[in-house]
Structure 1
């Protein structure tokens, strides 16, 4: 009886899942393995943060979810949006899904907006195409969306260069909401914004997710921002998820040396130790076309074992709803030096 109830409960949870990414692999025409075996899920009303340095595959992951990668890129696995696989959809369905099912807020609004068209026309365009609205109806909806993100409807007549950076980012969010999607993918939505505007944009996104019961994937290199904004956090390195769990838990108690290094890189208010002795991480993520053997993080890891050079690590339990791809996961990580050497020495 208990077993039957458990099966039923699991089935219901799976059916209600908004996004389910299964074993996603992305390889560019150059042979670079940018995303490797990623598994993620997002439910309606849930906020998932994806963190990592530049070059770890975060943006490639976001683009792969809606098939926005260049021709010649090999993408395998499954991207189930409301149970339908985006990777096998016909192009006509994909075009509709990109607005009505899921939409992206790209980083760098000035590069994404058309400089010679008024912002009202740019917001109205997808409404005309996918909602079959009249010109007047689309313009009215564009004004309502601007007000929803905190801008006067009259700003619909402005050109992108007439708006500030924060205002342009709000326009990008309004465009993402134009066709009432159920999932928003925000790729570094606060890049290059000052801290006051950044806080406003983050609160706005949180409010929209709560009010409209949206799913959110927020991509950033800043663990502090993600831990404050998101429910769950996935840390990517060299195209793989190396740690995942409740956002606050991953930020405060990372179980992978990379997650721990990202968290320690940000000084914490009131913590003199982190302010005067921040822990850096030398080096860069590996070239995705020349990945090291074993655990891809071992060349930069100060607590790696000899076995880490030959044996890769799968995600393993590291606490309640918390997993990490590290041989030390679930145990206390060995102490790491304040400033790691350029060539990390492996422990015996």
Structure 2
């Protein structure tokens, strides 16, 4: 059953920056979808748009259906009811998201009380239960954020996101700035919670290796659009779009001397959303660019079973495409 359905989503910030351009996504309950891409590609904007958390004056078009109800057309009272209870978000940088002058237990209990799910005393007990559920002692509910480690604060954020038993959780870089051991613990925790509670999860990260290991499907964004989407492991190991392939190749693989000693990156930066290039937005950085790429925009097309990619090379065989690219550039 489809939990979330995003159709032709567009987000334009005041001043004309087109941060999200015509994105389509679907997510089922119990499914984990990864969103990858460099900074500035529209990942966090997309996450904020799902719960209408964008700044005043931002233009949003399209539809965001959560259990069949369009969040973008809801009245504000309905949106407030959906936040926390229907869908919640784990922001990157827990220290910036938690209130420094309130105990973490009170912050977890607050949305439970606001949504009328429990009395104040029951909400506090529930906060302790949630902390235990994410691997912290219930006694840590009396701690202030600065008294917890980075990994513990991130667990508190996850407990807050689960406080009102939402159907959808959006995790925006949930392991940023954590060491690899704590990162692994947090990722296993999130995976377990999705399986136990049949949640839908959208996980945002720069790290394709993490998403390939954690998520069922992976969507790669560039210049506000999804340029490749498919089974996470397949996209990571055999990308069909040159941008997704460059992201994957930037991470050295254990046991592969060639990638360890000569990891491949990608020169340049994503384009300014307020000044996008003509044609395919990736063409100024593309290693296999064709002459027509500068004038012809590309949309997602079939790239194999359950896979889509927005690249002209998807319609040709790899050797022919590479030969054609060399002859035209």
TM bucket normalised to smaller: over 0.9
When the two chains are superposed, the root-mean-square deviation of aligned CA atoms in Å is 1.6
- Aligned partner of 2:155 in structure 1 is 170
Equivalences for residues 7-18 of structure 1 within 5 A: 16-18=1-3
Equivalences for residues 37-56 of structure 1 within 5 A: 37-56=22-41
TM-score under structure 1 normalisation? Answer: 0.92
Equivalences for residues 1-348 of structure 1 within 5 A: 16-329=1-314, 331-333=316-318, 347-348=328-329
Other structure's SS at 1:233 match = strand
- Identify if the C-alpha distance between structure 1 residues 270 and 347 changes in structure 2 by more than 3 Å, giving closer, same or farther: farther
After superposition, what is the alpha-carbon deviation per residue over 1:11-54, rounded to whole angstroms, capped at 9, x for unaligned?
A: xxxxx210000000000011000000000010000000000000
Distance in 1 between residues matched to 2:181 and 2:46, nearest whole Å:
29
Judge conservation of contact 2:117–2:164 (CA < 8 Å) in 1.
no
CA shift, 1:336, in A, is 11
- Identify if the C-alpha distance between structure 1 residues 157 and 296 changes in structure 2 by more than 3 Å, giving closer, same or farther: same
TM-score under structure 2 normalisation? Answer: 0.97
- Identify if the C-alpha distance between structure 1 residues 345 and 187 changes in structure 2 by more than 3 Å, giving closer, same or farther: farther
CA shift, 1:334, in A, is 5.8
Distance in 2 between residues matched to 1:310 and 1:264, nearest whole Å:
27
CA shift, 1:332, in A, is 4.7
CA shift, 1:134, in A, is 1.0
Judge conservation of contact 2:6–2:63 (CA < 8 Å) in 1.
yes
- Identify if the C-alpha distance between structure 1 residues 41 and 142 changes in structure 2 by more than 3 Å, giving closer, same or farther: same
CA shift, 1:331, in A, is 4.4
Other structure's SS at 1:48 match = strand
Aligned residues: 327
After superposition, what is the alpha-carbon deviation per residue over 1:128-168, rounded to whole angstroms, capped at 9, x for unaligned?
A: 00034111100000000000000000000000000000000
Distance in 1 between residues matched to 2:207 and 2:298, nearest whole Å:
24
Distance in 2 between residues matched to 1:117 and 1:78, nearest whole Å:
36
Distance in 2 between residues matched to 1:330 and 1:267, nearest whole Å:
29
Distance in 2 between residues matched to 1:281 and 1:345, nearest whole Å:
18
CA shift, 1:345, in A, is 8.6
CA shift, 1:219, in A, is 0.3
Judge conservation of contact 1:119–1:156 (CA < 8 Å) in 2.
yes
Other structure's SS at 1:211 match = helix
Distance in 2 between residues matched to 1:347 and 1:163, nearest whole Å:
57
- Aligned partner of 1:341 in structure 2 is none
Other structure's SS at 1:293 match = coil
- Identify if the C-alpha distance between structure 1 residues 167 and 205 changes in structure 2 by more than 3 Å, giving closer, same or farther: same
Unaligned runs of 5+ in 2: none
Distance in 2 between residues matched to 1:192 and 1:211, nearest whole Å:
27
Unaligned runs of 5+ in 1: 1-15, 338-343
